[in-house]
Amino acid sequence: MRLAIADSERCVGCQSCMFACSRRQGEAGLAASCIGVRSIGGMERGFTVVVCRACDNPPCVAVCPTDALKRRKGRGIALDAARCIGCGHCRDACILGAVFWDDEINKPMICVHCGYCVQFCPHGVLEFVKRGTIGNATG
Amino acid sequence: MLPDDPLANVLHIDLTGKAYWMEKRQDLFEACIGGAGVAIRLLNEECPAGCDALGRENPIILAIGPLTGLFPLASKTVAMFKSPHTGNLGESHCGGRSATAIRMAGCGAIVIKGASHFPIYLAIHDGKVYFRDASSLWGMESSFTVGRIIRENEPGAGIRTIMRIGRGGEQLVSYACVTAESYRHFGRLGLGAVFGSKKLKGVVISGRRSLPVSNKKEYRHLYEEVYRKAVESLVMRKYHDLGTAENVLVLNSMGGLPTRNLQEARFEEAAGISGEAFAEQFLGRRLACSHCPVACIHIAALREPYEDESYFYKTSMISYDYEPIYALGSMLGISDARGFLKLMDEVEKLGIDAISTGVILAWATEAMKRGIVSASEASGVKLNWGDHHGYMDAARLIVEQPNEFYRALARGVEYASSTYGGEDYALALGANEMPGYHTGPAAHAGVLIGARHSHLDNAGYSIDQKDTGARRPGAEELARNLLEEERWRQILSSLVVCFFARGIYGPETVSKALRLAGLDLATEDLRRIGKDIHRDKCRFKTREGFSLRELRIPRRILETETPLGQCSESAMREVLEHAERIIEKEEAEAH
């Protein structure tokens, strides 16, 4: 299963998904969030949801110099924090902007496709789908 | 409070010396929670008695609360300052991303003092303050463009707030607003003019951090409970569906919709500017404040052809709500939704408060019709009920202030009528232009008593609407009920919970949520603190010369029938006297 963006036009910008992601990791606030919602150049034009799309050949994994990032079976990327030196190459490699950064610990934050945020999307923007289903990377 | 909670940080910014520093004020947040409670304390500390509201010594206080960033709907920022509009307490609340951004930037309150010698905007990222030259933004025609340029020059996309003023604030219109995220405002009492007087064009704030909670498991549990209520309960449905614009037909059918400067309280063409009409013909998008799943912000898409070139159109996205529809719609006799939207858009670009602007233009229209203001004084602009073109011209001239008449209008209807006459139909209560509820005596008494002369202070209109005539509350009971509601609302605005969510955040829920934020306050403590905060506000007002006895009640409010009949001046005064007595008695007990 993986997280996908069903329809970003329905997004109202409430950012409940961002806060949900932090709570799922036992945190409050936004430092740990692996999903982002921002306007497309002004709120009047709507929003884009930025999150890892679980690429088949993830560039973030390819550029990691310490093998701290690995593909997870079936869904997304796993970070081995003990191997991560916080170099930021993965962030630069992801053209979706889906590698978020926790400045408090200087490590990348990448979605693990748990689907928790979907429960807190009030308007059907996010969905949890079977792997292989076509979905938008960022919507 | 929790020892590592950054809420206790108060960020001080000196615009004169271009310096800033952070101060730990745990004492303030523990005693008065946050938001309004902390802001009034800081205002009392920082604002010298009798200071010039447009002078450099008038501070701007912004405060958020302990639930911001932790729970849904704790999404407001409270601003406090001395109001250039009333010369007394200035308090204004704004949503958008302002509250979350301040919390994530690592502070609970911001105090802005002094004045810059040249236009600047402040960029506050992760608690660091950058003073940016805003000379190129000063004088720019549209506040939307100002927002776009700041957006393109600053980091923090998605997690920032961009507060800015328009020309109205630069020109010190006493009811200029500060706009955040294009569509949300610190409206009413002239924060925009205070920004303008300091040459402060805007404030952008961003940050990204984690926040402590006392018990993670309970936190998740209570979060889910509050969230489900917010998305599923009927309490919030009104705000989801048609939005506050739903009120247009409701108030009109009961005869409480102020029309043509309150000469009537029913608008025969209200259907044209109803929430239903906007939803059907114009609703283009709905938006939410940060951390609010409700999305009450309704944006109309207005498509207009260019007259000089065929097959050439522009589409403007314009927000609408009940209050602007009343003030710039029914109050001006405008029933053409397109006309209303164009006027609304103009007022947004100028950055002036929509309610005050509408009420002032309504007074000016009547004053012209009665001949106390001539066409030449109005620079040739003709004000006629229903004609949005004239009102758009007049709104621009209020900001430009080419002559004495427009300079007077730029200071509000209380001032304009004291110069030109027409006080009987100058619809200000406590020197603030009236809100859109002519529902009965409680609505108007509530605005008069309310610390910021807003219908939201104590919701008197709601008391009127529950009045079935079976048992009408006496003056003392009414005063007591209004004050009790206002005191509870001090708690909500100290948590900075949106008033729309008042049905969700009852005392028990608030107490539980606060415990998770490290504040152990039982429901009776909350009531006591609510009283304390209200008393602090009353003290500030008294210090600055306010007296309930001296309030003017415009004759028009008494003459035009409400759904509960005509309001009598003596009955209203009786409510004010009781309110004064209750406040004085409790002040004496506090000593």
Tell me which chain A residues have a C-beta less than 8 angstroms from the C-beta of B104: 29-30
* Angstrom distance (rounded) from CA B190 to CA A115: 45
Mutate to test the interface with A, among B126, B149, B161, B210 (most CBs of A within 10 A): B210
Percentage of chain B with pLDDT > 70? 99
pLDDT, position B319: 97
- Specify the pairing of strand B297-305 against strand B60-63: unpaired
- The tens digit of pLDDT for each residue in B423-476 reads 999 999 999 999 999 999 999 999 999 999 999 999 999 999 998 877 888 999
pLDDT at residue B43 in the model: 98
A109 to chain B, minimum CA–CA distance in Å? 13
Cβ contact A12–B219 (<8 Å): no
A 68-87 near B (Cβ less than 8 A): none
The C-alpha atoms of residue B579 and residue A13 are separated, in whole angstroms, by: 42
- Topology (CATH level 3) of domain B6-206: Aldehyde Ferredoxin Oxidoreductase;  A, domain 1 (3.60.9)
User: What burial letters (b/e) apply to B357-366, b meaning 16+ CB within 10 Å?
Assistant: bbbbbbbbbb
- Please list every residue in chain A whose beta carbon sits closer than 8 Å to the beta carbon of residue B286: 12
From the CA of B495, how many Å to the nearest CA of chain A?
A: 16
Kindly report the length of chain A.
Answer: 139
B487 closest CA partner among B519, B442, B542, B529: B529
**Interchain CB contact of B283 with A (< 8 Å):** no
pLDDT at A104: 87
Q: Is the pLDDT of residue A134 over 60?
A: no
- pLDDT beyond 60 at A123: yes
Identify any residues that bridge with B204 across adjacent strands, giving them in sequence order. Answer: B123, B162
Compare all CA atoms of chain B with the CA of A22 and give the residue at the minimum distance: B210
Per-residue model confidence as pLDDT tens digits over B529-562: 999 999 999 999 999 999 999 999 999 999 999 9
Neighbour order of strands in the sheet with B283-287: B283-287, B297-305, B313-320
* Between A132 and A13, residue with greater pLDDT: A13
Task: Report CB contact under 8 Å: A13, B288.
Answer: yes
| Fold annotation for B433-590 | 1.10.599
The fold of the A2-126 domain, in CATH, is: Alpha-Beta Plaits (3.30.70)
- Return the pLDDT at B504: 94
pLDDT band per the 50, 70, 90 thresholds, residue A9: very high
Which of A7, A15, A18, A118 to mutate: most B Cβ within 10 Å?
Answer: A15
Nearest to A16 among B151, B285, B293 (CB): B293
How far is Cα B525 from Cα B193, in angstroms, rounded to an integer? 37
| CA B67 to centroid of chain Cα atoms | 21
The stretch B186-199 carries a mean pLDDT of 98
What's the rounded mean pLDDT across residues A61-90?
Answer: 94
Q: Which residue of B has its CA nearest to A39?
A: B158
Q: Which of B71, B153, B208 is best to mutate for the A interface (most A CBs within 10 A)?
A: B208
A28, A29, A120 member nearest B227 (Cβ): A120
The answer to whether A43 contacts B147, with C-beta atoms less than 8 Å apart, is no
Question: Does B143 contact chain A (CB < 8 Å)?
Answer: no
pLDDT at A75: 76
- Min Cα separation B87/chain A (Å): 35
Q: Are B219 and A23 in contact (CB < 8 Å)? A: yes
- Model confidence at A138, in pLDDT bands (50, 70, 90)? low
pLDDT in tens, B342-390: 999 999 999 999 999 999 999 999 999 999 999 999 999 999 999 999 9
ipTM value for the complex = 0.95
Q: How far is A118 from chain B (nearest CA, A)?
A: 13
* Contact residues, chain A, for B219 at CB < 8 Å: 23, 28
Domain B240-422 - what CATH class? mainly alpha
pLDDT at A139: 53
Are the beta carbons of B395 and B363 closer than 8 angstroms? no
Would the pLDDT of B569 be above 70? yes
Which residues numbered 112-131 in B keep a CB inside 8 Å of some CB on A?
Answer: 126
What pLDDT score was predicted for residue A73? 81
Residues of B in contact with A38 (CB under 8 A): 157-159
Question: Rounded to whole angstroms, how far apart are CA atoms B210 and A33?
Answer: 9
Give the DSSP H or E segment for B409: helix B404-409
What are the start and end residues of each CATH 3.60.9.10 domain in chain B?
6-206
Tokens of B359: 């009420």
The answer to whether residue B211 neighbours chain A at the CB level (below 8 Å) is yes
- Taking only residues 52 to 91 of chain B, the set having a beta carbon closer than 8 angstroms to any beta carbon of chain A reads 69-70, 72
Q: Grade residue A1 by pLDDT with cuts at 50, 70 and 90.
A: confident
CA–CA min distance A107, chain B (Å) = 13
Q: Do A103 and B208 touch (CB under 8 A)?
A: yes
Q: Determine contact: A64 vs chain B, CB below 8 A.
A: no
Partner B contacted by A103 (CB < 8 A): yes
Rounded CA-CA distance B170/B90 in Å is 18
Which sequence spans correspond to the domains of chain A? 2-126
Whether residue B234 is predicted with pLDDT greater than 80 in this model: the reply is no
Nearest CA in chain B to A32: B210
B4 secondary structure, DSSP code: T
Q: Cβ of B210 and A31 within 8 Å?
A: yes
**Interface check B292 vs A, CB under 8 A:** yes
Question: How many residues in total does chain B contain?
Answer: 591
Q: Is the pLDDT of residue B164 over 60?
A: yes
Please tell me which residue of chain B has the smallest CA distance to A104.
B209
Q: Give me the residue from B70, B285, B299 closest to A28, CB to CB.
A: B70
- Asked if B147 lies within 8 A of A42 by C-beta distance, the reply is yes
**Per-residue pLDDT tens digits for B38-63:** 999 999 999 999 999 999 999 999 99
A8 touches chain B (CB under 8 A): no
| CA–CA distance, A88 with A106 (Å, rounded to integer) | 9
pLDDT tens-digit series, residues B394-404: 999 999 999 99
Phi, psi (rounded to 5 degrees) for B482: -65, -45
Q: With an 8 Å Cβ cutoff, is A36 touching chain B?
A: yes
Q: What percent of chain B has pLDDT over 90?
A: 95
Question: Any CB–CB contact under 8 A between B552 and chain A?
Answer: no
Side by side, the strands of the sheet bearing B89-94 are: B19-24, B9-14, B109-113, B60-63, B77-82, B89-94
- CB-CB: which of A41, A43, A45 is closest to B181? A43
Cβ within 8 Å, pair B210-A32: yes
Q: What is the pLDDT of residue B313?
A: 96
* Distance from C-alpha of B82 to C-alpha of B50, rounded to nearest angstrom: 9
Query: How many interchain CB pairs under 8 A, A with B?
Result: 98
The reported pLDDT for the residue numbered B467 is: 85
Question: From the CA of B68, how many Å to the nearest CA of chain A?
Answer: 9
B389 contacts chain A (CB < 8 A): no
Range list for CATH 1.10.599.10 in chain B: 433-590
Instruction: Return the number of other C-beta atoms located less than 10 Å from residue B145's C-beta.
Output: 14
A46·B285 Cβ contact <8 A: yes
Contacts of B102 in chain A (CB under 8 A): none
Average pLDDT over chain B reads 96
For residue A108, list its beta bridge partners: A101
Q: Which two tokens stand for residue B294?
A: 């409700």
Give the number of other Cβ atoms within 10 Å of residue B57's Cβ. Answer: 14
